[in-house]
Chain A
Amino acid sequence: MAAAAQGTSLKSYLLTRLALVVPMVLILLTFVFLLMRVAPGDPISASLGGHVPQSVIIDIKHRLGFDQPLWRQYIEYLGDIARGNFGRTITDQRPISDIILVNGAATLELTFFAMIVAVVVGVIVGLVAGRFRDTPWDVGGRLFGIVIYAMPVFFIGLMAQLFFGSYLGWLPTSGRASPITQATLVTHTNIYTIDAIIDGNWSALKDVVLHLILPAVTLGLVTAGVFIRLIRVNVIRTLKDDHIEAARARGIAERDVVYRHAFKNALVPVITVVGLSLALLLGGAVLTETTFNWPGIGHELVLYLENRDYNAVQGIVVVFGLVVVFVSLLIDIVNAFIDPRIRY
């Protein structure tokens, strides 16, 4: 954070911030490692179920290095991750990197569009509520924000499936694409919308977008609650600022004061919150993916949890953590460029 920055230039701030990533990643990795090893229970027998002979268990333990002393396992684990090797799952021998590439793309697609929904809804409702403070607009906007935040993702998802899927029959309720599209779409990036655009496969694009609507809107709406709150407070705070008073005193029309002077300033912190809400969004993605049968990382995580696959769980959790660490780094860097106060 800003407190860590001793330097006075952008460069030294960025260097300090970059240096902080190392201990953060190390703590994350250590924490996950310890959590998985120290927790009582034997991962191998748990993942294989109770019907496997003892010799097989010992064999697998040896192959995976679980019979080594803890410190050696730890060093090997760090070394593997430093080389980009996240290991394989125990149950189906799938490389974790494969899960990141294939399922991660699905999660990326979902969270990206959800974030757009969240920002658009949050900014509009937040600005209106803050601008018309204490009017019915404000009360309505805030209640909307509170109620939408109070809804579990899986509940909105289920209700949306019932209404738009089962009742109206407008939208598909499960998966990323219909079977025909799955068969015809050539995957370059595993992000289906981009793949469809690359090939100019417009019917596939339509199908993919239709599949995206319900999950992305569901996840986006839930996340929007955070934005509504924040932007409303910011607008209220900015409207009290001296520079707004000054603008008013100069005789600038109230409309211009609000739209050109207040709103712009109120929206700057949104960037920070986009980054912070990523953690929320990723958590929500686990639930959204499970509800809509969306084959993302969260969906895989739940499946591997059910199979008690420690390696897979560990790998996926580490990936989630790394994503959060690097996105927060990115946000801090962007912020440092935008807001000079941070780097001094």
Chain B
Amino acid sequence: MAAPTDTTQITAPRRLRLLGLRRAVSPIREARGFAQVIVYVGAAITLFFILLAIFAPLISPYDFDQYQSGGKRFPQLAGPSSAHWMGTTVQSTDVMSRVIWGAQTELKVVVISLVFAITLGVPLGLLSGYFGGKLDRGLVLIMDALYAFPYLLLAIVIAFLLSNSIGKGVLTAAIAITAAYVPLYFRVVRNQVIALREETYVEAARALGAKPFTIIRKYVFYNVVQNVPPIATLNAADAILLLTALGFLGYGIQPTDAAEWGYDISRAVSDSASGIWWTALFPGVAIVLLVTGLTLVGEGLNETMNPVLRRRRVSRVTFDQEPEPPIVDAVDGT
């Protein structure tokens, strides 16, 4: 047989493959219109709070529990002034400092709880979905029962039980929030895996004799894990609401340990009767902003990845000496 005459090599564009990071980011780049705007606006808001959290010691004018300066006690429940931009609380602490330090608490707890929830929920979903059988049926039943339950209630009860033994703190709050979200990740991942399990390329891998764990690791995991970022961001928004709710009910962080927005608002309830608004307004606005920021990021990611809602650029195909095609709707370009 003659050697192939055509020696032109077809080279696929090689780019850095940072654990599928490029794939995760590409929809954002391809996004357009409202989806792109909300991702950027949301990211800006979120970044602002992350910076607040990291540099709280530098930015904050006082400590979160500081009620005096230079031996002079701050005024009680004083309105916003040049010394205290957001006023002071009934314990003479500075509202602005508490809002800034609060960002640190909220983000810390939420990050811990999401890491817990993902490291528990995703592997369980992978195993349950891939292997099926009795394990799957049992887990689904338990997770569905948990999922149907009002998650605020679940978190409250767990925080209540843990506060009796290990005390109130970052860990207690994080575990309570984790328990509320594990079923969510489990469900999403499991359903996805069940669909993937029947795909031809998985079947092919199985036919080649790949072991189950190899298939899960190499073929299933990356396809499933793509769905996690939008869910996790929306979830982070939700987790902040949950944490502030726990704080509001008195099952969040011990007030001497850290500043927490929900707790601050619960303290402000009695102020509101006498028309004092600053103790409630500023922590509340902080919650709304941070949650909105995270939701915008999540919604934007969701919109760019959900084929029903997606509108993206047509990928640029350049022919020699031809103008680039105009940007049109790819999916519903009717």
Q: Which residues in A have some Cβ–Cβ distance to B below 8 Å?
A: 23-24, 27-28, 31, 35-36, 39-41, 46, 134, 138-139, 142, 146-147, 149-155, 158-159, 161-162, 166-167, 233, 236-237, 240, 279-280, 282-284, 286-287, 290-291, 301-302, 305-306, 308, 313, 317, 320-321, 324-325, 328
Further pairs besides A31-B146, A158-B269: 9, Cβ < 8 Å: A146-B292, A150-B291, A152-B287, A162-B275, A166-B273, A283-B151, A283-B152, A302-B249, A317-B157
With a CB–CB cut-off of 8 A, which chain B residues contact A23? 141
A324 and B262 within 8 A (CB): no
With a CB–CB cut-off of 8 A, which chain A residues contact B245? 152-154, 283, 287
A147 and B288 within 8 A (CB): yes
A158 and B280 within 8 A (CB): yes
Q: Mark B300-330, 1 if CB is under 8 A from A, else 0.
A: 0000000011000000000000000000000
10 A-B residue pairs with CB within 8 Å: A27-B145, A139-B34, A151-B291, A152-B265, A282-B153, A290-B248, A305-B251, A313-B160, A317-B157, A324-B150
- Bound-state CA distance A253–B251 (Å) is 57
Q: Mark B1-40, 1 if CB is under 8 A from A, else 0.
A: 0000000000000000000000000000000011000000
- Bound-state CA distance A158–B142 (Å) is 37
* Beta-carbon nearest neighbor of B159 in chain A: A305
- Bound-state CA distance A158–B285 (Å) is 12
With a CB–CB cut-off of 8 A, which chain B residues contact A166? 272-275
- Across the interface, A287 reaches (CB within 8 A) one of B248, B251, B284, B295, namely B248
A134 and B165 within 8 A (CB): no
With a CB–CB cut-off of 8 A, which chain B residues contact A279? 148-151
* Beta-carbon nearest neighbor of B241 in chain A: A152
- Bound-state CA distance A161–B270 (Å) is 11
A152 and B275 within 8 A (CB): no
- Across the interface, A41 reaches (CB within 8 A) one of B165, B244, B299, namely B165
Check: B237 CB closer than 8 A to any chain A CB. yes
Task: From known contacts A36-B161, A39-B162, A287-B249, infer whether A152 and B244 are also in contact, taking CB-CB under 8 Å.
Answer: yes
With a CB–CB cut-off of 8 A, which chain B residues contact A237? 308
With a CB–CB cut-off of 8 A, which chain A residues contact B161? 35-36, 39, 41
B250 and A306 within 8 A (CB): yes
How many residue pairs link A and B with beta carbons under 8 A? The number is 145
Q: Mark B239-279, 1 if CB is under 8 A from A, else 0.
A: 00100110011110000000000100110110011110100
- Bound-state CA distance A297–B161 (Å) is 19
Check: B81 CB closer than 8 A to any chain A CB. no
Task: From known contacts A46-B164, A150-B292, infer whether A162 and B308 are also in contact, taking CB-CB under 8 Å.
Answer: no
A41 and B164 within 8 A (CB): yes
- Bound-state CA distance A24–B143 (Å) is 10
B156 and A24 within 8 A (CB): no
With a CB–CB cut-off of 8 A, which chain B residues contact A236? 308-309
Check: B171 CB closer than 8 A to any chain A CB. no
A320 and B153 within 8 A (CB): yes
B153 and A24 within 8 A (CB): no
B150 and A320 within 8 A (CB): yes
Which 9 A-B pairs have CB atoms at the shortest separation, nearest pair first? A283-B152, A150-B291, A41-B164, A39-B161, A40-B165, A155-B284, A283-B150, A150-B292, A27-B145
With a CB–CB cut-off of 8 A, which chain B residues contact A153? 245
With a CB–CB cut-off of 8 A, which chain A residues contact B280? 155, 158-159, 162
A291 and B34 within 8 A (CB): no
Question: Nearest Cβ in chain B — how far from A112, in angstroms?
Answer: 17
Check: B144 CB closer than 8 A to any chain A CB. yes
Check: B135 CB closer than 8 A to any chain A CB. no
- Across the interface, A321 reaches (CB within 8 A) one of B149, B164, B275, B287, namely B149
With a CB–CB cut-off of 8 A, which chain A residues contact B284? 151-152, 155, 158-159
- Bound-state CA distance A328–B145 (Å) is 11
A39 and B165 within 8 A (CB): yes
With a CB–CB cut-off of 8 A, which chain A residues contact B149? 28, 279, 320-321, 324
Question: Nearest Cβ in chain A — how far from B171, in angstroms?
Answer: 14
Task: From known contacts A40-B164, A151-B288, infer whether A287 and B152 are also in contact, taking CB-CB under 8 Å.
Answer: yes
- Bound-state CA distance A31–B241 (Å) is 25
Check: B296 CB closer than 8 A to any chain A CB. yes
- Bound-state CA distance A183–B156 (Å) is 34
- Across the interface, A158 reaches (CB within 8 A) one of B148, B164, B268, B275, namely B268
Check: B115 CB closer than 8 A to any chain A CB. no
With a CB–CB cut-off of 8 A, which chain B residues contact A147? 288, 292
A155 and B287 within 8 A (CB): yes
With a CB–CB cut-off of 8 A, which chain A residues contact B224? none
Question: Nearest Cβ in chain B — how far from A96, in angstroms?
Answer: 15
A305 and B160 within 8 A (CB): yes
- Bound-state CA distance A265–B287 (Å) is 36
Task: From known contacts A41-B165, A159-B280, A279-B151, infer whether A28 and B275 are also in contact, taking CB-CB under 8 Å.
Answer: no
Question: Nearest Cβ in chain A — how far from B76, in angstroms?
Answer: 19
Check: B111 CB closer than 8 A to any chain A CB. no
* Beta-carbon nearest neighbor of A281 in chain B: B150
Instruction: Report which residue of B161, B166, B250, B266 has the largest number of chain A beta carbons within 10 angstroms of its beta carbon.
Output: B161
With a CB–CB cut-off of 8 A, which chain B residues contact A320? 149-150, 153
Question: Nearest Cβ in chain A — how far from B246, in angstroms?
Answer: 10
Check: B127 CB closer than 8 A to any chain A CB. no
- Bound-state CA distance A324–B144 (Å) is 12
Question: Nearest Cβ in chain B — how far from A42, in angstroms?
Answer: 9
With a CB–CB cut-off of 8 A, which chain A residues contact B188? none
Check: B281 CB closer than 8 A to any chain A CB. yes
- Bound-state CA distance A302–B277 (Å) is 25
A158 and B265 within 8 A (CB): yes
Check: B332 CB closer than 8 A to any chain A CB. yes
Question: Nearest Cβ in chain A — how far from B266, in angstroms?
Answer: 8
With a CB–CB cut-off of 8 A, which chain A residues contact B277? 162
Check: B228 CB closer than 8 A to any chain A CB. no
Instruction: Report which residue of B148, B165, B251 has the largest number of chain A beta carbons within 10 angstroms of its beta carbon.
Output: B148
Check: B202 CB closer than 8 A to any chain A CB. no
Question: Nearest Cβ in chain B — how far from A247, in angstroms?
Answer: 15
